[in-house]
Homo-oligomer: A and B are copies of this chain.
Amino acid sequence: MPARNTVQRQIIADALCQLANHPTADEVYEAVHAEHPSVGRATVYRTLGRLADEGAIGRVRINNGADRFDHQTFAHYHVRCVRCGRVDDVMVAELRGIDDAAAAASGYRISGHSLQFDGICPACQAAEKNDEASTA
């Protein structure tokens, strides 16, 4: 049962491509809703989830925060700035073999892993430096 090709689906997929930097479902909703006020929040959440399940888009699960969506689908990891919440791609080589190691260690059949880095983004590092300079 392939998904039906509804207007909303198109609108939402397009909006995601337009919005860079891993928007949350709610950010996508705001963008979509601004242009097409009749589109409801539930539709955006449902559609993004479905697109992600189909593999058409990526879903980035954030510890302690809203899921984010990504029009890019190739595998890569993410960093999150603990100060401003910004999320960026991290181009480190994908961990290969680690799933097998985990399977061997746990007895689970491993289907995948998710890895998230936490840190301070360049902009917040700069801001920090300014704070220190002005405080000192």
Contact = CB atoms under 8 A, between A and B. Distances in A.
A67 interface: yes
Q: How many copies does the complex hold?
A: 2
Given A81-B108, A82-B111, A119 B92 contact: no
A120 interface: yes
Contact of A122 (B89, B107, B113, B117): B107
Given A92-B105, A106-B79, A117 B121 contact: no
A72 interface: no
Interface residues of A, number: 39
B92 A117 contact: no
Given A61-B64, A79-B106, A92-B105, A118 B111 contact: yes
Contacts of A118: 110-114
B88 A108 contact: yes
A34 interface: no
